Amino acid sequence: MANQLGKRFQCETCNSEVLCIKAGDGEIQCCDKAMELLQPKVLPSAD
């Protein structure tokens, strides 16, 4: 799976967060486990 620039990942074990600053192939790991891709946060509308 290719890592995309600007995506955030979180470790389920230690809650560390990583921001991908260089796209490429591979898998981001922490604590010997694959890190979970975080979903974008919904921002409130500026009505």
- Which tens digit of pLDDT belongs to each residue from 1-47? 688 899 999 999 999 999 999 988 988 999 999 999 999 888 898 76
Cα–Cα dist 11/34, whole Å: 8
* The predicted structure's pLDDT at residue 46: 79
Model pTM?
0.76
CB 6 within 8 A of CB 19: yes
- Conformation bin of residue 27: beta by default, left when phi > 0, alpha when psi is -120 to 50: beta
Assigned CATH for 2-37: 2.20.28
Q: Where are the domains of the chain?
A: 2-37
* The predicted structure's pLDDT at residue 15: 94
